[in-house]
Chain A
Amino acid sequence: MISVKNLNKSFNDKNVLSDISVTFETGKTNLIIGKSGSGKTVLLKSIVGLHDIDSGEIWYENTLFNKLDFAEMKQIRSEMGMLFQGSALFDSLTVEQNVRFPLDMFTDQSYEEKEERVNFCLNRVNITNSNNLFPAELSGGMKKRVAIARAIALNPKYLFCDEPNSGLDPLTAILIDALIKELTEEYSMTTIVNTHDMNSVMEIGEKIVFISDGVKCWEGNKHEILNSDNDILNDFVFANSLAKQLKSVNR
């Protein structure tokens, strides 16, 4: 479980996040949704410690994460996996080397054990016969899947995904969503996904937090989101004219 309490974050006197408090549950796919520029990525990067926060608390289980020093943070970070918006695969390494990187860095496993784990992770995300390809040779969807394989290589307790569907076609996006959900349930991880893709919300949104202009405006699940009375949320969820019409018929 990850808890955020009264989190505030600003850049150059510009307030980006104001008094955010939310709890992300274990074994569930937690979604942070909101418009572009609403502060989702800043919130996610603050939670994982890539941004220093101005005030507030970030708890990983019973550990106050934002007060830890680099060495103490490392312990929790070894239990994290993250899928970045642009995949963030290491350009100079092959697919196999990318997935093996955390194993090389943090385990004393033999080469064979690492090889077995790498192949297991790649098979788990349906990547086969691509071990020796470089990231530049992969499609967008494959990059995301390899990034997921790298993120789960060390069996993380926490999985963070920043816009996992950006730049993907709807079918591939659904496959990535399904994979994230399956892995979350399979390994009982605490997963937090940043997205503005409503397909993702309806597919995997077990817990949804809606952020608008750096403020938490709504919290619920994918069933509740369709019947919410929150106008700002409705503007976001039913953004296109067809969805607006459906909403009005529903009412």
Chain B
Amino acid sequence: MFKFLHQLGKYFLLLRKVFAKPEKPSLYYKQTMRELVSLGFNSVAIIAIISFFMGAVITLQTAYNTENPIYPKYLIGLGCRDSIILEFSSTVTALILAGKVGSNIASEIGTMRVTEQIDALEIMGVNSASYLILPKVIAAVVFNPFLTLMSIIIGILGGWVAGTAAGVVTSQDFIYGIQYAFIPFYITYSLIKTVVFAFIIASVSAFQGYYVDGGSLEVGRASTKAVVYSSVLILMFNVILTQLILS
């Protein structure tokens, strides 16, 4: 318990350093642009592929589990849409990004720590925490909502393709279903979750990397911890946010 509180305190102290006034905003801007490419654009392909197949599976599962004449076929489209918007595109995408981006952040910063690059920044008088972590947090928080929106669109597209190709739903029924009783606030809810999850992924992973002590073995461990802790926190905050926003 004491260790947990110690780590929590350390995390918030690091955040205080991260959100200090930048030394040279123009350099931070450039760094943020680099991170947008590295953490954001480079995740587009994996999110697109996963979302497409996720949507496809949801549609097929819904179809095979509602094979009853009582249920109208458009429910398959509706189920696919709501599952993707409410849960899959925000939470599952965040869990995938925790693996891809989180381990990347932790290992990059951890390697910089063990090779004394962070010490070199400190010696120059640079706030290393802010310079290294703030652009990553901004990039993740800004770009992940776009990834979520993209995931929603591709997920539904995947559902439509799989559903019509497998012949479990007609194109007309599916499209009617995804339009039926649509609540726009669900998109807002999904994006709010995405922003919080993005912050968790970037900050928790950076924290793990920033305080690495040792060598390559510890960098590997930090990377694993980053993924595990981020994932657990994402699932925990998923419950909290759902209760807070949808109740």
Contact = CB atoms under 8 A, between A and B. Distances in A.
Given A49-B122, A88-B115, 4 more contacts: A50-B123, A75-B125, A91-B111, A91-B117
Interface stretch (A2-10, A58-66, A78-86, A111-119): A78-86
B123 A48 contact: yes
B125 A50 contact: no
A82 B125 contact: no
B130 to A, nearest CB: 11
A52 interface: no
Interface in B98-137: 111-112, 115-117, 119-120, 122-127
B123 A105 contact: no
Nearest to A147: B120
A48 B212 CA distance: 20
Interface residues of B, number: 16
Given A86-B115, A88-B115, A106 B125 contact: yes
Interface of A: 45, 48-50, 70, 73-75, 77-78, 80-82, 84-86, 88-91, 101-102, 104-106, 160
A88 B24 contact: no
Contacts, number: 55
Contacts of A80: 123-124
B117 A105 contact: no
Name which of B24, B111, B123 has the most chain A CB atoms within 10 A of its CB: B123
27 contacts: A48-B123, A49-B122, A50-B122, A50-B123, A70-B127, A73-B125, A77-B122, A77-B123, A77-B124, A77-B125, A78-B124, A78-B125, A80-B123, A82-B119, A82-B120, A84-B119, A84-B120, A88-B116, A90-B112, A91-B117, A104-B27, A105-B23, A105-B24, A105-B124, A106-B23, A106-B124, A160-B123
B125 A88 contact: no
B126 A105 contact: yes
Contacts of A82: 119-120, 123
Contacts of B124: 77-78, 80, 101-102, 105-106
Contacts of A105: 23-24, 27, 124, 126
A8 to B, nearest CB: 21
Contacts of B119: 45, 50, 82, 84, 88
A85 B120 CA distance: 11
Nearest to B23: A105
A70 B127 CA distance: 9
A86 B112 CA distance: 11
A48 B126 CA distance: 14
Interface in B4-32: 23-24, 27
A49 B117 CA distance: 15
